[in-house]
């Protein structure tokens, strides 16, 4: 069958949508943090200048990882590299939500950046490598939607969560089931102290 007439099976669509969700979460995480930086800084008793390191740590980690993603994907394979980074990203998100000092927050945000920086380039890699040429514009449009919708949804998510959560809760205010479970688990652990 020629390359341009190849079809997509269910497994390939799951891979494409999974990487799109990862890219969406990475952009959304940046937007949520930047929108609620004042609240997060207040929650850990940091000045605005010190709080700016929270965003900087993520961006530095993300930039370093983006440059190394292709090499890591070859060394560890795309599947294992993505799964490991998803698990680590969720773990660092939960740790950011329960951090109590600026140094903890900066360290955990850097970890989020190192693991979340993988999602954007890998989403494009998976689109190009799994989708046939006739469906490539659809995949690229899906990626464009993640990059444009995440900032808009991130701001609304922060506005809604400010009512119910403190600044640290902003990291887990996204209504994805994984983060919701992490939030409940971490809140249960801190209540029993």
Task: Report the CATH number that the domain containing residue 109 is assigned in CATH.
Answer: 1.20.1250.20
In this prediction, residue 174 carries a pLDDT of 44
pLDDT in tens, 121-153: 999 999 998 899 999 999 999 999 888 888 877
In a domain, 94, yes or no: yes
Overall number of domains in the chain: 1
* Domain contains 183: yes
In a domain, 138, yes or no: yes
pLDDT digit string, tens, across residues 3-23: 555 678 888 888 888 888 888
pLDDT for res 146: 87
For residue 130, give its domain range: 12-191
Q: Does the pLDDT at position 119 exceed 60?
A: yes
Angle in degrees, CA 111, 168, 172, rounded to 5: 70
pLDDT for 167: 45
Tell whether 4 is covered by a domain. no
Could you tell me if residue 66 is inside a domain? yes
Q: Is residue 109 part of a domain?
A: yes
The residue among 50, 65, 55 whose CA lies nearest residue 120 is 65
Query: pLDDT (tens digit, 9 = 90+) per residue, 68-115?
Result: 999 999 999 888 898 899 899 989 988 988 888 889 999 999 999 999
pTM reported for the whole predicted model:
0.76
Residue 5 covered by a domain: no
Domain assignment of residue 3, yes or no: no
**How many other C-beta atoms can be found within 10 angstroms of the C-beta atom of residue 174?**
21
CB 54 within 8 A of CB 33: yes
């Amino acid at each position: 069958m020629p390359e341009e007439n190849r079809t997509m099976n269910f497994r390939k669509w799951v891979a494409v949508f999974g990487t799109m969700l990862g890219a969406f979460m990475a952009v959304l995480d940046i937007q949520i943090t930047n929108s609620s930086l004042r609240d997060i800084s207040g929650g850990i008793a940091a000045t605005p200048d010190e709080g700016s390191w929270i965003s900087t740590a993520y961006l530095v980690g993300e930039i370093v990882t983006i440059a190394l993603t292709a090499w890591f994907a070859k060394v560890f394979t795309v599947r294992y590299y993505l799964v490991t980074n998803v698990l680590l990203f969720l773990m660092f998100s939960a740790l950011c939500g329960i951090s109590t000092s600026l140094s903890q927050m900066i360290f955990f945000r850097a970890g989020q950046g190192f693991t979340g920086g993988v999602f954007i380039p890998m989403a494009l890699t998976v689109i190009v490598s799994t989708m046939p040429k006739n469906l490539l514009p659809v995949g690229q449009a899906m990626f464009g939607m993640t990059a444009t919708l995440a900032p808009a949804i991130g701001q609304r998510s922060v506005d809604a969560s400010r009512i119910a959560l403190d600044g640290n809760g902003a990291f887990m205010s996204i209504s994805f089931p994984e983060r919701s479970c992490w939030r409940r688990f971490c809140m249960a652990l801190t209540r029993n102290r």
